[in-house]
Amino acid sequence: MSQHLIVLFVVLPMLAGILSLFAHGRRTLQAFIGLVFLLANCGVAIWALITVCQGHGADAGILVSQMGNWPAPFGITIVVDPLSALMLGVESVVCLAVFIYCISQLSDRFGGGFFQPLYHLLMMGVQWSFITGDLFNLFVAFEIMLMASYAMFVVGTTPQQIRQAYKYVILNLIGSTLFVTCAGLIYGQLGTLNMADITRIAVSGQLPVSSIPVIAMLLLVFGGKTAIFPLWYWLPDTYHTMPAAVGGLFAGLLTKVGAYVMIRVFVMMFGSSQEVSSIVAPLIIVSAIVTMFLGVLGAVSMHSVRRILSIHIISQVGYMLMGIGLGIAAVSGLTPTQTLISREMAVAGAIFFILHNMVVKCCLFLCGGLMIDHAGSDDLEKIGGLLKRAPWLAALFMIAALSLAGLPPLSGFFGKWVLVKESFNQQQYSLTGFAVATSLLTLLSMLKIWSYGFWSPPQGKHVEHPEVRPATAGGLFSVALLVVFALSMGFGAQAYMNVSRYAAQRVLDPRPYIAAVLGEQHSPPHLPAENTVVAAAKLNPLASNGEVRR
Amino acid sequence: MNPTWQLTLAILAPVFCGAAGMLLPRKEVGLRVGMSVLGPVLAMWLLGLFVRDHGFEAGVFSIAWMESLQLNLQFNADQLGLFFAFLVSGIGLLIVLYARAYFGPDEASLFRFYPSLLLFMTAMLGVALADNFVLLLLFWEMTSISSFLLIGWERDDPSSVKKAMQAFIVTGAGGLAMMAGLVLMGSHTACWSFSELAAAGVTGDALTTVAFLLIFAGAAAKSAQVPLHFWLPGAMAAPTPVSAYLHSATMVKAGVYLTGRMWPIMAAALPIWPRLIIPLGALTMVYGAFIALQKTDLKQIFAYTTVSQLGLLMCMYGLSAFEYHHQPNLVWDVTQILNHALYKAPLFILAGAIGHVASRELPELKGFFWRGGQAMIMSLVLLLAAYGLAAGPGTLSFTAKEFFFYQIYHAKEAIPSPWFWVLVSAGVATGMFNVAIFVRLFRTLVLDREPSGHKHGHDHAHGGGHGHGDHGHETGIWPAFLWIPGLIIVSFQFVGGLAPGLFDHWVLHHIEPSRFYEAHLPSLLDVAAHLAHPELPLIMSGVAIALGVTLGLAPVLRGVFKDPFDHAYPGFYTLVTKIVGPQAFGFVQRGHLGSYITFVAVSMVGLFFWSFGFDLTAFARQWPEGIVFETDQFSELTLGVLLTVLVCLTAVLLPIVTDRASRVLVLGTCGFAVTAVYYLYRAPDLALTQISIEIVSLILFLLVLSLIPREAPKARMWVAPRVVLSILVGGVMFWLTLTSSLVVRPPNPSMAVNNGTASTLGQYFMRNSHHGIDTEHFPREQLTSGLVDRSQFHEGDGHHDEASLHPGGGGDNIVNVILVDFRGFDTMGEITVLALAAMGVWTLLRKVPRLDDEYCSPGEYGNDAGGFGDYAGEPGGLLRVDIPDPSNSSGDGHAQPAVANRSPQS
């Protein structure tokens, strides 16, 4: 019965949004409402994560609720499986931290108006995307997320920034159009929009031939949301125009939702279909290489903190794509069991990387915001010497930056380690090479911010900015919260990785998911061809220590 | 105590003390020094306890940490590791004291110096003892971080910040290569630590070789092998205690240490080992010594001799691939490593001390020896250490150099003749340069007695002196600590050289298993015998000393050659951040919307054809069968075709018509035609929705037109490609739609719930819209006209009590039931979208100054209005934003969901 509580992931932010809309103009009251609901949301997320991780046997750690109690493929299903639960768990904490930052650090110009209601509704869209089990419903969730992001763009921005926002809106509208068209076409091809039902069709090998191009089009849709190589344009031109807090929220959540959906769709739904994977996987891998490397080249060539950070989002997405690609690509030279474990680890690496990135990227953006508030500018050629003025900020930034650059034992390292390992195992050496090179340039760009922002004295004339306000306790607290979280993901990486691996197992073998949503009798008895060994791998997230061995 | 924890504590002791030191109040300099001294002392004490209990060959100790990520607290406390650990903590202790003297009682400097230094100490202890690959990598990168923090000590000096970045990037690149190598080695051999690898043994296959090369790249970068050596001279921007500790005695040895760890495992198995390492080491050795001779700054001289010495150490490990009398050519190379630390650390310590009281530039140090008591002591200690650098007889260094020459000599059979003599010449040349440097130092400091006015000029030459402005006036014991640590360390040189037996008994006996060399002379009698029958190594030493003295006295090779690698990192940085980065990224990120949309469209078409494998015959094969014209629906079809033609026509017209008003009208035509299609195919609800949207948006567009600038934006692309691209995109959508509507869907058993007969969503919705009664078989006219005879529904339905539970949706209109019940969750979302849009629009509108003045009370919105003065004068405000083509956004946000909602009932 308690599994219906998962609807709270939508209800809580919606209530928070509505209530704080009614408290319009009273920031303190709004902040209070927001904090209460965000804390409650964190509680629900933690409950869901624990419940999912404890799940064995019949319910298999998957929480399902049918909206309106219509049976599965007919109504709308919401599902929290280990993957969703992980995303929600980290996302809820990130949202809480950013919210604390916003209410304490943002001026009325940015944090006033409809900012707080929009914040909650954006979060509602994000959480909705994580829990929905229906392709069209996912579109709705994306629309909420995007519409909230459009609206947040215009809070406190200047006309120049709105000009940039226009690109963002148009490109995302094109993406949405494509999405809804594809959803319609998929319904036309398969007669259902329920994810579990589509997965069932794919697993039992019944995808019509003509549906393959339509499914491939989904790559365009979700690739656009994730900001992968030929579709990322909306991101670099716009993110740096936003206040850093909003940038942090978007950086931490929006592209990660895209990456999550790519795992959900291309690994879980269609991963077992050889026809789809053979088309999608090479593209994902090539795109991963270009995305990570070109992205980081763009990032190092920038001169402002926010630009470096926002272009870095793209580069980091490349690593997630790498994991997804390795999770579905054809593998040669490994036994079926090794293949399976390698895929599992690759997807687990991608999931871990998403989680790490949510926290660290967001944290860096918030640091960037505090830097701007201290220095009055985020142009690295103007600011400097912040170490003396804000030593705590410097320390926090350093940890987050090194974490992003992937130095052990910080969180970024372990995701990279697993991904690099699996790319070796699967003999995708070009991926390995670019991943390592990207990592070096990431380090360079982080050192650039550190050296010019925190160490070197300000060059040229110091520009007084009207918005200079030193870091508040709340601002620093939120950054510290995220840094502590990131540290826990580093020093306790094994726990996070094990849960990620559990999530990856559930995604690579979607039969429990299908059974939970559609009922036991509809779950296919076995997976096609090389995935059959899945059943051998027993699922205990708290003690899975297997390794890939040749 | 568990030995693993004991080692872990020993490793962590320094950093704990450093952190504890940060908690002390800033004024407490004495306490801070005490706390910092405690770090290495604790580490040594714990290590000593460990050795007492387990000896020097204790083996591997492990505690699981992250097994699934191959990271465990696994230490290998063998001779090499323990030797390094003692070296690091021992010299570290003296450096802590030296730093106190160097910085003087400067609270701020010491406050931030000690934690970084102690962090490094922990990292280096970890590197020395770690056995697990990931653990090694962890400490390895930690040394890079602490080195970065310490090189960039002089934050106000942009050049030293750049040097810090350079060092981090070079060693970081090495670290990444090493990571890749360790991953490859681990996943190839399934061993994740050196001890496992040693037990399992390696084969010389390609993957192992690649893995070794990658790991060695990391070692070479850290140990400053040519061509990656340039970061080390750059690192001299750090304060001298750092140079003495990190960049000569310990950290740069990490690469050598790693090579030493690997050689028993790999040297014999991999043919590339000697072929790569010997030439590289020899080149570095000669090159470093040669450049060192050119320098005049003390720290630069010693930095390059460090490079040279690191090359020599590498070369020795390269030579150790060869056997001599069926024994390894060498085991741990401890003598040479120790020897280098024992003269190089004092050299740096004294360079800093002399720079502190006078200058580090040789021309300014003429006759420094004669400038008073302290100068005399400092010069003396410096020259003693430099005598060690020159490997003069009577020092440990001489023995070590003989070791090296013997090693070359022993490899005579393994190395083909010309190369052997090249190696011998390289050894002699290096020795010669080192001797020349000593001679030059001696001559400058002692023999050149030139009256000069540079007394007590403070050293600001290379960012070495800072934060100790008033140090010169400090009295008490501390100033002496500028040279005491150097003297202590260098004295071991002479103990080792003059009393080899004692040295052997104390040190070598425990840690160097292979001591059979001829050069190892336990007593003076042996020396005499040795001199009587000189072998090649002794001759080499003699030649090197003779040539070196000559070269040192001759006025040649001073400041002639500059190291060309000085430009390597700035070049790389410029290349990446100013040329390649902006060019490559700018190529795709062009900044205007048109190109982005083009990219997306091209991707879409490309993706489509890729999904067919670019095989056009697949289209023919996939051509859907069953396109049948039914004559009874002919009238419907005709109308449909006409409307379709109309829609297509508007689509073609849109880009052709340039006038905006006409475009809006064409767009409206399209919308109304679509409305008609909906109506024609019996979807009155949708038609109604669509027509309202069309009317509203048409009116809005026409209203907005008056606010948009007249001139249309110019197209940035040729016409022909745009036409082709548009047709292709249209074609793709056409094909997808066609196949989707005609496909034979897979049977769906999961829909066979409920009454067991529904096979599509549509049927289910029909049956369940109204209280679970099947509306499917109702007369079509009744359903389409909406005039359903309600009384029929309740026939046969046992109980029509409203309060009882009905499975159905409870509505007459299926579309309505779908919207508010079956998929009510969607609708809730769409309503939220509308609310969000309203909030966005309201926020935008408030920014139009005209509206602000009229409708908004200033108090309610805080300081908002003030921020937008820059465009307050413009009528229209934000609406004047350049909007190239409004047709792109037509109705997408709201019309599409409404259309899509239809899909489940089709």
Kindly report, residue by residue over A197-219, the tens digit of the pLDDT.
999 999 988 888 888 999 999 99
CA distance B163 to chain A (A): 11
Which residues in chain B touch residue A109, judged by CB atoms under 8 angstroms apart? 862-864, 867
Do the chains contact at A230 and B65, CB–CB below 8 Å?
A: no
If one compares B596 and B503, the residue with the highest pLDDT of the two is B596
pLDDT at B801 over 70: no
Task: Please state, in angstroms and rounded to a whole number, the distance separating the CA atoms of residues B297 and B383.
Answer: 16
> What local confidence, expressed as pLDDT, does residue B629 receive?
57
Q: What is the mean pLDDT of residues A19-39?
A: 91
Judge whether B66 is closer than 8 Å to chain A, CB to CB: yes
Judge whether B826 is closer than 8 Å to chain A, CB to CB: yes
Do the chains contact at A448 and B735, CB–CB below 8 Å?
A: no
Instruction: Verify cis geometry, omega within 30 degrees of 0, for the bond prior to B858.
Output: no
If one compares B455 and B729, the residue with the highest pLDDT of the two is B729
Strand partners, A77: A66
Question: Which of A117-126, B55-64, B436-445, B447-456 has the lowest average pLDDT?
Answer: B447-456
Q: What are the residues whose beta carbons fall under 8 Å from the beta carbon of A437, sequence distance 6 or more?
A: A293
Do the chains contact at A417 and B134, CB–CB below 8 Å?
A: yes
Task: Please state, in angstroms and rounded to a whole number, the distance separating the CA atoms of residues B547 and B535.
Answer: 18
pLDDT at A113 over 90: no
pLDDT at A13 over 50: yes
Residue A80 exposed, middle or buried by CB count within 10 Å (0-12, 13-18, 19+) = buried
> What local confidence, expressed as pLDDT, does residue A126 receive?
95
Do the chains contact at A210 and B164, CB–CB below 8 Å?
A: no
The SS3 assignment for A186 reads: helix
Do the chains contact at A136 and B823, CB–CB below 8 Å?
A: yes
> What local confidence, expressed as pLDDT, does residue A523 receive?
77
Do the chains contact at B608 and A237, CB–CB below 8 Å?
A: no
Average pLDDT of chain B?
79
If one compares B613 and A123, the residue with the highest pLDDT of the two is A123
Percent of chain A surpassing pLDDT 70? 92
pLDDT at A524 over 60: yes
Whether the Cβ atoms of residue A254 and residue B637 lie closer than 8 Å to each other: no
Do the chains contact at B68 and A158, CB–CB below 8 Å?
A: no
Instruction: Verify cis geometry, omega within 30 degrees of 0, for the bond prior to A117.
Output: no
Mutation site, A178, A185, A285, interface B, largest B CB count within 10 A = A185
Q: Which of A67, A187, A201 sits opposite B904 (nearest CB)?
A: A187
Angle between helices B334-357 and B298-319 (to 10 degrees): 180
| B201: confidence class by pLDDT, cuts 50, 70, 90 | confident
Task: Please state, in angstroms and rounded to a whole number, the distance separating the CA atoms of residues B242 and B248.
Answer: 9
| B180: confidence class by pLDDT, cuts 50, 70, 90 | very high
DSSP element (H, E) containing B158: helix B158-189
Task: Please state, in angstroms and rounded to a whole number, the distance separating the CA atoms of residues B33 and B111.
Answer: 10
CA distance B119 to chain A (A): 14
Mutation site, B12, B611, B889, interface A, largest A CB count within 10 A = B611
Length of chain B: 906
> What local confidence, expressed as pLDDT, does residue B591 receive?
77
Looking at chain B, the number of H-run helices and the number of E-run strands are 37, 4
What tokens were used for A403?
A: 């974490």
Q: What is the mean pLDDT of residues A177-191?
A: 92
Which residues in chain B touch residue A118, judged by CB atoms under 8 angstroms apart? 836, 839
| B804: confidence class by pLDDT, cuts 50, 70, 90 | very low
**pLDDT tens-digit map of A446-489:** 999 999 888 888 766 555 555 567 778 888 999 999 999 999 99
Which residues in chain A touch residue B186, judged by CB atoms under 8 angstroms apart? 421
Average pLDDT of chain A?
87
Q: What is the mean pLDDT of residues B323-334?
A: 70
Identity at B402, one-letter amino acid code:
E
Do the chains contact at B743 and A188, CB–CB below 8 Å?
A: yes
pLDDT at B811 over 80: no
Whether the Cβ atoms of residue B517 and residue B538 lie closer than 8 Å to each other: no
The SS3 assignment for B589 reads: coil
> What local confidence, expressed as pLDDT, does residue A537 receive?
40
Q: What is the mean pLDDT of residues A299-304?
A: 90
Whether the Cβ atoms of residue B26 and residue B108 lie closer than 8 Å to each other: yes
Do the chains contact at A545 and B68, CB–CB below 8 Å?
A: yes
Mutation site, A107, A443, A501, interface B, largest B CB count within 10 A = A443
Q: Which of A112, A408, A425 sits opposite B187 (nearest CB)?
A: A425
> What local confidence, expressed as pLDDT, does residue B485 receive?
87
> What local confidence, expressed as pLDDT, does residue B415 receive?
78
Strand partners, B662: none
> What local confidence, expressed as pLDDT, does residue B633 receive?
63
Judge whether B615 is closer than 8 Å to chain A, CB to CB: no
If one compares A499 and B802, the residue with the highest pLDDT of the two is A499
In chain B, which residue's Cα lies nearest the Cα of A287?
B603
Mutation site, A209, A233, A425, A431, interface B, largest B CB count within 10 A = A233
Length of chain A: 550
Angle between helices B158-189 and A429-449 (to 10 degrees): 150
| B535: confidence class by pLDDT, cuts 50, 70, 90 | confident
Highest mean pLDDT: which of A105-109, B598-602, B792-796? B598-602
> What local confidence, expressed as pLDDT, does residue A533 receive?
41
> What local confidence, expressed as pLDDT, does residue B605 receive?
93
Count Cβ neighbours within 10 Å for each residue of B727-739 and write b for 16 or more, e otherwise: ebbeebbebbeeb
Task: Please state, in angstroms and rounded to a whole number, the distance separating the CA atoms of residues B251 and A389.
Answer: 31
pLDDT at B772 over 60: no
Q: What is the mean pLDDT of residues B561-571?
A: 86
Q: What is the mean pLDDT of residues B394-412?
A: 83
Residues 187-226 of B with CB under 8 A from A: 187-188, 190
End-to-end CA distance of chain A: 45
> What local confidence, expressed as pLDDT, does residue A275 receive?
86
| B882: confidence class by pLDDT, cuts 50, 70, 90 | very low
What tokens were used for B710?
A: 């007249």
- Note the Cα B775 to chain centre separation in Å: 64
Judge whether B231 is closer than 8 Å to chain A, CB to CB: no
The SS3 assignment for A77 reads: strand
Q: Which of A190, A294, A522 sits opposite B746 (nearest CB)?
A: A190
Highest mean pLDDT: which of A54-58, A357-361, B268-272, B417-421? A357-361
Question: Which of A243-252, A430-439, A540-549, B183-192 has the lowest average pLDDT?
Answer: A540-549
Do the chains contact at B739 and A210, CB–CB below 8 Å?
A: yes
Which residues in chain B touch residue A75, judged by CB atoms under 8 angstroms apart? 822-823, 825
Mutation site, B12, B22, B176, interface A, largest A CB count within 10 A = B176
**pLDDT tens-digit map of B308-328:** 999 999 998 888 888 776 666
In chain A, which residue's Cα lies nearest the Cα of B818?
A75
pLDDT at B778 over 60: no
What tokens were used for B528?
A: 């005499």
Looking at chain A, the number of H-run helices and the number of E-run strands are 20, 2
Do the chains contact at A148 and B158, CB–CB below 8 Å?
A: no
With CA atoms as reference, report the closest residue to A178 among B577, B526, B605, B130: B605
> What local confidence, expressed as pLDDT, does residue B473 receive?
54
Neighbours of B548 (CB within 10 A): 25
Task: Please state, in angstroms and rounded to a whole number, the distance separating the CA atoms of residues B893 and B774.
Answer: 35
Judge whether B769 is closer than 8 Å to chain A, CB to CB: no
> What local confidence, expressed as pLDDT, does residue A58 receive?
46
**pLDDT tens-digit map of B111-153:** 889 999 999 999 999 999 999 999 999 999 999 999 999 998 8
Whether the Cβ atoms of residue B279 and residue B268 lie closer than 8 Å to each other: no
Which residues in chain B touch residue A436, judged by CB atoms under 8 angstroms apart? 176-177, 179-180
CA distance A97 to chain B (A): 23
pLDDT at A530 over 50: no
**pLDDT tens-digit map of B457-514:** 444 444 444 444 444 556 677 888 888 888 888 888 888 878 777 777 777 777 766 5
> What local confidence, expressed as pLDDT, does residue A214 receive?
92
CA distance B242 to chain A (A): 19
Q: What is the mean pLDDT of residues B626-649?
A: 76
Do the chains contact at A297 and B896, CB–CB below 8 Å?
A: no
Residue B421 exposed, middle or buried by CB count within 10 Å (0-12, 13-18, 19+) = exposed
Q: What is the mean pLDDT of residues B568-593?
A: 87
With CA atoms as reference, report the closest residue to B14 among B46, B40, B47: B40
Judge whether B847 is closer than 8 Å to chain A, CB to CB: yes
> What local confidence, expressed as pLDDT, does residue B817 receive?
85
Neighbours of A454 (CB within 10 A): 26
What Å distances lie between residue B710 and B77, B227, B877, CA to CA?
80, 62, 16
What tokens were used for A239?
A: 């993110």
Angle between helices B133-151 and B107-129 (to 10 degrees): 160
Whether the Cβ atoms of residue B283 and residue B423 lie closer than 8 Å to each other: no
Q: What is the mean pLDDT of residues B352-364?
A: 84
Task: Please state, in angstroms and rounded to a whole number, the distance separating the CA atoms of residues B443 and B390.
Answer: 14
Q: Where are the domains of chain A?
A: 2-530
> What local confidence, expressed as pLDDT, does residue A545 receive?
40
Task: Please state, in angstroms and rounded to a whole number, the distance separating the CA atoms of residues A233 and A314.
Answer: 10
Main-chain phi, psi angles of B657, to 5 degrees: -70, 125
What tokens were used for B614?
A: 């670019």
CA distance A304 to chain B (A): 13
Q: What is the mean pLDDT of residues B236-263?
A: 89
Which residues in chain A touch residue B829, judged by CB atoms under 8 angstroms apart? 128, 137, 140-141, 143-144
